[in-house]
Amino acid sequence: MDIKEITHQVEKESVSLRQIIAEIEKTIVGQTALINRMLIGLLCEGHLLLEGLPGLAKTTAVKVMAQAIDTSFKRIQFTPDLLPADIIGTQIYRPDNGTFEVSKGPIFNNIILADEINRAPAKVQSALLEAMQEHQVTIRDKTFKLDDPFLVMATQNPIEQEGTYPLPEAQIDRFMMKIKMDYPSAEEEKEIIKRIREGVDNDTASVVSVSALKSARETLHEIHMEDKLVDYIVRLTQATRKPDEFGLDIGPMVSYGASPRASIWLEVAARAQAFLNGRGYVTPQDVKSMAPEVFRHRIILSYEAEAEGRTTDHIIDELLERIEVP
């Protein structure tokens, strides 16, 4: 297909996905970036790590999105006493017939909210992350495929670190994006109060079928991307590892740069952003708009950077400003 044909197809299919945004916004006030990134994760089959304080509508947003696509949703509250079997399931002995029966866990749903993932021990985190990577789980000697679509959104509280088990960098890297959530604006907060007071109807209609979502995923791979944009993505990733070669003075601030997964996910995320904007081609702005979320959890800062109060967002801003855009 040429670009005109792809754009026509994208325009037709993106309309239905934008209906999901409209449906979510009936319930959620603000959080436009979160809703956009959730849809991109769903399109790209990439899992999301959310960092935000309690009360910012994370659970509600995920639940409403699941309803809008007519898929199943399950929230798992991670706690220090959680076991892997509590997530993936286990075998139960039936004394009446002397057999073992598989009892599937909450992971066997389409959209999972892993609330406060850093409160559970490493073996529980590993069980979830393995399921995310393989799209299957093994209970004793039986392997079960997970449902499609399958999206995990894990949350972390940025201020309460006592009694937590931080995710290792190698496991964090499996998340497509890390999204930082912020407080609503004054106007948005007024609207929230108004809706609560007036008791706005929060019933969510199913507006997109799973088959339409799968069709959109196939179209996504047809979206045109120039080779020079792929080169730009690779340069951004390379610059996090070898900043001196790109004339950047951030070397002392970065202990480890982004892995190749950053390039892979940024390329796919840029296509998804173009798709949601109804275009059959990717622009440099699509790449730049997705870079912070894709790179944020993949750049490991040095002690010097932390001592100076620098964040990965500062590093990413400098990359986007200094690396030449094609």
Looking at residue 280, its pLDDT comes to: 87
Residues 6 or more apart whose CB falls under 8 angstroms from that of 295 comprise 236, 237, 240, 258, 262, 266, 312, 316, 319
- Domains in the chain with CATH codes: 3-188 (3.40.50.300), 223-322 (1.10.8.80)
Q: What is the number of alpha carbons within 13 Å of residue 145 lying toward its C-beta?
A: 3
Residues 6 or more apart whose CB falls under 8 angstroms from that of 248 comprise 239, 318, 319, 322
Q: What tokens does 260 get?
A: 């190749």
Asked whether the predicted pLDDT for residue 204 surpasses 70, the reply is no
- 233, containing H or E segment: helix 227-241
Distance CA 47, CA 151 (A): 6
Residues 6 or more apart whose CB falls under 8 angstroms from that of 200 comprise 26
Looking at residue 1, its pLDDT comes to: 64
Tell me: the pLDDT tens digits for 68-97?
887 888 888 888 888 888 888 888 878 877
At 161, the pLDDT band (50, 70, 90 cuts) reads low
Distance CA 319, CA 307 (A): 21
Is the full-model pTM beyond 0.85?
Answer: yes
- Mean pLDDT throughout 167-192? 83
Task: Give the residue from 182, 192, 166, 187 showing the smallest Cα distance to 297.
Answer: 166
Tell me: the pLDDT tens digits for 209-245?
778 888 888 888 889 899 999 999 999 999 999 888 8
